[in-house]
Structure 1
Amino acid sequence: MKFKSLSFATAFCLAGLAVFAGDGGKGKKPADAAGQLKLPAGFKAETVIENFGRTRHLAVTPNGVIFVKLEKLKDGKGIYRLEDTNGDGKPDKITGFGDYVGTGMAVRDGYLYASSNTDVYRYKLDGSNNVVNPDKPEKIVSGLLDRHQHNSKSIALDNSGNIYVNIGAYANSCQVQDRTKGSPGRMPCPILDSAGGIWQFKADRPDQTYGTGVHYASGLRNVVGLDWNTQTNSLFVMQHGRDQLSDNWPQYFNTKQSAELPSECMYELHKGSNCGWPYIYYDQIQHKQVLAPEYGGDGKKGPEKEFQDPVVAFPGHLAPDGLLFYTGNQFPEKYKNGAFVAFHGSWNRAPEPQAGFFVVFVPFKDGKPSGNWEVFADNFSGGADKTASGRVDYRPCGLAQGPDGALYVTDDTKGVIWKISYNK
């Protein structure tokens, strides 16, 4: 069954039902980064830490220790361990290690996994989730492509000893001249042999490269948010859709169409999945795959070859940077096994208003989307005018679940980490 999304306007109406966190819906002026957020009734946000640099993805251990990856070094370090030892909700024991920037962060079976823009490392943890040898991690994977566009190497682990790594395409749509008006697409796209997809490696094997890995899925322009769904035993990813339809192909697309298209897509992947980039994009308004203009499309024509359809199709240019399947017991039952998506926010909607800068929730039942997505946490931007301009206060990026079932969210502009809890 294809999953049809709500219209963007309807989604924003749902967001209007939310209340300021902790103020009972009375509209009190937010006092800090946590008070600024709008959440559904019964939820509250707390600020774990602020002004901590460009915090990307994070992981929380069973004893509540937070590990967070930075996109820019802070005091020469790219990973930080945050521990609250006195129970006041704020980390008072903070240590940094790792001299590389990046995005990926995960904890599994006594190890911390972290990625740079070319490599994947793992660190042994002790019984208190301290890093045993922070200066000498194992290098699990090395030599992944970094052409300075879509270069973050996000990671996810399954339950069978494998780690999945995104290698983003170093192009918008595989044109002969990238991001150039009227430039045709290269056929076949040479990028797809080493980027534009997901690669699978062994989580415990050092010194792996492209040659020892498995090209697990292709046709994905760039995936920053991904997570393993334990119900379906499969990998789900969020793709960043291509840009500049009206800039490069004004004969087929006006600025409004270019702002809404193509969809930001959620895919369920299996070995051999091909989602079609750069040859097609998914149009959530027409509910179909559309041949890309670089390959002879006109905004209406479908491809001769069908590729994998998304399971959820969101509006375009919201920039999904985090994906998390919620398995905790703290939130109401509707959230169990559903998906949270952090939308970092757009840049490619001008002259239309920018959009995104929120965390949404997608309900799932029996491993499939079971209803319309809804805005869960909003007002990271600081208001409608800031959203429209794109000059926002915060941009949600990483998501993680705490041992108590709370949801953690990072911001990679001012370095905020929020903890969102439900008041039972």
Structure 2
Amino acid sequence: MLRNILLATGLICATFSQADEQLKRLNLPAGYEINYFAKNVENARQLAVSKSGVVYAGSRRAGNVYALIDNNQDGIADRKIVLAQGLNMPSGLALKDGDLYVGEVHRIIRFKNIDKQLSKPNYEVVFDKLPSERHHGWKFIRFNDEGELLIPVGVPCNVCAEDAQFGRIFSLNLQTKQLTTIAQGVRNSVGFDINPQSGVLWFSDNGRDMMGDDIPPDEINRVSLNGEHFGFPYVHGGSVLDPEYGKDKTLADMQKYTAPKLALQAHVAPLGIHFYRGKQFAKNMHNKLLVAEHGSWNRSTKVGYRVMMATIKEGEITAYEPFITGFLDKEQTLGRPVAFAELADGSLLVSDDFANAIYRVRYNKK
């Protein structure tokens, strides 16, 4: 009944396969429709789309890397290839010059000229000097505008002392193999993107646990200066002192660290973030920052489990609104959004590592 009322008022309008009850639970703004691009993609995480339209997906616990092919261009993958199995949490991946780069916990591997090697894929190790700790060790990777590979290394703990190997986002020069610190004081970032209008890096960060239901905030951050410090483990969310590592800090000390551009609700677990670059969506969606709130695991009442959209003006977040909801039904988890990619037509792909699915979102221009 409620769904019919919302549809009638135009507040929610989505088209679903009538045979799929799971998909019908998802709600989007008026004019948008969501369908499956691919099912049975175990533990789907970061996505990348090649120039020829092949969609690549990493995974975490599954240890697989996938290629998904839509041969008839109907917006639904009709072929799935497992490119590699048994890898060490190959969550992150990125494409450059036709090569597929995959971020495992301890190394970066590369499938050269991947679209042409799908029938017999082979990879080579391009960098193997990353820490091997698996706690917060899974990756999200992306190339910056200078052609260097951005690699986060989360801290191997809930909260622990600073260490130059951990709690950072690095930039890797693939020729010299040199790592440069882009951001430090970062507990566990599993998502970042470069604003196509300003060229500035934005990233999500997951706050520490075991301080209660409502603190500290999770974060959306902007990097203004290479190497700047975002507070961990001393200050969380720009405002909460850590009871152990921040107990001797003063207000002046707190102001030395970069505060988030948006302090999110505690434990919503923001993962992938993505600036919408396409032209298919409504004009007001162009350059919106999409945020996949993966959802809480350690809260008395679950929060997150949704895709949000942030409006950014002059480097500041001026609005933060729902884009896709319905992954949570009361306390029952139905899905957990992870990351985004765009197809050539401007439609949006969203991975879900709980439902083992990749969704495709389109806008009906009516």
The normalised TM-score by structure 2 is 0.89
3-state SS of paired residue (1:53):
coil
- Using the TM superposition, give the Cα deviation of residue 345 of structure 1 relative to its aligned residue in structure 2, in angstroms: 0.3
| CA distance, structure 1, for counterparts of residue 278 and residue 18 of structure 2 | 31
- Is the aligned partner of 1:359 residue 2:302? no
The one-letter amino acid of 1:408's match is L
Q: 2:13 touches 2:32 (CA, 8 Å); kept in 1?
A: no
Q: Which residue of 2 aligns with 1:231?
A: 197
- Distance change (3 Å), C-alpha of 1:131 and 1:335: farther
- Is the aligned partner of 1:171 residue 2:157? yes
| CA distance, structure 2, for counterparts of residue 415 and residue 408 of structure 1 | 13
Q: Which residue of 2 aligns with 1:186?
A: none
The one-letter amino acid of 1:263's match is P
| CA distance, structure 2, for counterparts of residue 263 and residue 361 of structure 1 | 18
Q: 2:25 touches 2:326 (CA, 8 Å); kept in 1?
A: yes
Q: Which residue of 2 aligns with 1:40?
A: 29
| CA distance, structure 2, for counterparts of residue 227 and residue 161 of structure 1 | 14
- Using the TM superposition, give the Cα deviation of residue 18 of structure 1 relative to its aligned residue in structure 2, in angstroms: 4.8
Instruction: Give unpaired runs (5+ residues) of structure 2.
Output: 1-8
Match of 1:242 among 190, 204, 208: 208
- Is the aligned partner of 1:279 residue 2:234? yes
Q: 1:55 touches 1:69 (CA, 8 Å); kept in 2?
A: yes
- Using the TM superposition, give the Cα deviation of residue 94 of structure 1 relative to its aligned residue in structure 2, in angstroms: 2.1
The normalised TM-score by structure 1 is 0.77
Q: 1:43 touches 1:421 (CA, 8 Å); kept in 2?
A: yes
Q: 1:280 touches 1:303 (CA, 8 Å); kept in 2?
A: no
Aligned ranges for residues 82-93 of structure 1 at < 5 Å?
82-93=68-79
- Using the TM superposition, give the Cα deviation of residue 58 of structure 1 relative to its aligned residue in structure 2, in angstroms: 0.8
| CA distance, structure 2, for counterparts of residue 296 and residue 344 of structure 1 | 28
Q: Which residue of 1 aligns with 2:6?
A: none
- Percent identical among aligned pairs is 29
- Using the TM superposition, give the Cα deviation of residue 138 of structure 1 relative to its aligned residue in structure 2, in angstroms: 3.5
Match of 2:38 among 49, 54, 77: 49
Runs of 4 or more consecutive aligned structure 1 residues displaced over 6 Å after TM superposition: none
- Distance change (3 Å), C-alpha of 1:296 and 1:48: closer
| CA distance, structure 1, for counterparts of residue 29 and residue 193 of structure 2 | 24
Aligned ranges for residues 1-400 of structure 1 at < 5 Å?
18-19=11-12, 21-22=14-15, 31-73=20-62, 78-99=64-85, 100=87, 101-125=89-113, 129-131=115-117, 135-174=121-160, 189=161, 191-202=162-173, 204-205=174-175, 208=177, 212-245=178-211, 258-269=212-223, 270-282=225-237, 288-297=238-247, 302=251, 304-305=253-254, 306-350=256-300, 353-366=301-314, 368-381=315-328, 383=329, 385-386=330-331, 391-400=332-341
- Using the TM superposition, give the Cα deviation of residue 329 of structure 1 relative to its aligned residue in structure 2, in angstroms: 0.6
| CA distance, structure 2, for counterparts of residue 357 and residue 122 of structure 1 | 32
3-state SS of paired residue (2:130):
coil
3-state SS of paired residue (2:319):
coil
Q: 1:61 touches 1:402 (CA, 8 Å); kept in 2?
A: no
- Using the TM superposition, give the Cα deviation of residue 355 of structure 1 relative to its aligned residue in structure 2, in angstroms: 0.5
Deviations 1:8-63 (A, max 9, x none): xxxxxxxx98525227xxxx988344322100000000111222211111112233
- Aligned length in residues: 354
Q: 1:98 touches 1:134 (CA, 8 Å); kept in 2?
A: no
- Distance change (3 Å), C-alpha of 1:133 and 1:95: closer
Instruction: Give unpaired runs (5+ residues) of structure 1.
Output: 1-15, 175-188, 246-257, 283-287
